[in-house]
Amino acid sequence: MTSITSEYILTPFNAYPMGQSIERGEVLKRVCKPSRKKMKIFSRLEFIVYCVFCAAAAAIIVPSVRLGLGGKEELGPGLLPFLASLCVLATGAVLAILTLLRREKVNPSAELEKIDRKGWIRVGEILFSFAVWPLLVGVIGYIISTFLVSLGMAKAIGYKGWLRPIILSISITFCIWFLFGFMFHLDLPAGFSF
């Protein structure tokens, strides 16, 4: 005889409540729910990651201000790192606060999502795309490299077909070019393309 530790055990014919014994040899399927302790550990880990991102962003703010933010006529070299670090800092702070608020409302029946092999490969493809992008920009120029990297990331994320990823990549390339090349008058690397 076996005692039950999960909340319910389902057999083809019946459900046995927690603590009731069943005969050996019956077909079982346990409905296991993660404990509150696992959920709180997960929330703490998530909170720590967001705090690390906030600390890294805050550490970049001072050097970027020292580089110079520029004026009305000309933008300084520290403006882009300053704005990016402010965005990361604000996002990390909001996510950390939401994690703290959500921790109080933990649903013990919610399952933790596990990253499988396919998920790790997807993360690797995205990180590889980010690593290759600066190398491609210097060789083939901003427009073609951004289009190719955006297309690769869209396919890695899981966009089906080719039309939607191509439209997304063209949109990303155009929006970034419009913002930095046209509005801010920054010289984007031309490479051999333009």
Q: Minimal CA–CA distance to 174: which of 147, 141, 134, 140? A: 147
Query: What does the DSSP assignment read for 28-54?
Result: -EEE----HHHHHHHHHHHHHHHHHHH
Residue 111 banded pLDDT, cuts 50, 70, 90? low
User: What pLDDT, on the 0 to 100 scale, is given for residue 70?
Assistant: 82
Across 25-48, average pLDDT: 57
Of 1-5, 91-95, 187-191, least confident by mean pLDDT is: 1-5
pLDDT one-digit tens code per residue, 10-19: 444 444 444 5
Range among 61-65, 71-75, 86-90, 183-187 rated most confident: 86-90
CA 184 to each of CA 61, 82, 176: distance values in angstroms, whole numbers, following the listed order? 20, 15, 11
* The pTM of the whole model exceeds 0.75: no
Question: Rounded mean pLDDT of the chain?
Answer: 75
Side-chain-side CA neighbours of residue 161 (13 Å): 5
Output 28 or 163, whichever has higher pLDDT.
Answer: 163
Cβ-Cβ contacts under 8 Å for 3 (sequence gap 6 or more)? 19, 21
Q: Minimal CA–CA distance to 92: which of 56, 61, 59? A: 56
Q: State the alpha helices, DSSP H only, in the chain.
A: 36-67, 79-104, 117-140, 142-157, 163-176
Helix (H) or strand (E) holding 2: none
pLDDT one-digit tens code per residue, 114-173: 668 888 888 888 888 888 888 888 888 888 999 999 999 999 888 889 999 999 999 999
Q: Which token pair is 139?
A: 């060789």
User: What pLDDT, on the 0 to 100 scale, is given for residue 12?
Assistant: 45
Residue 40 banded pLDDT, cuts 50, 70, 90? low
CA distance 25 to 178: 68
Across 41-51, average pLDDT: 77
Q: Give 70's DSSP letter.
A: B
pLDDT at 93 over 70: yes
Q: Minimal CA–CA distance to 193: which of 151, 132, 137? A: 137
pLDDT at 28 over 90: no
CA distance 16 to 54: 48
pLDDT at 9 over 60: no
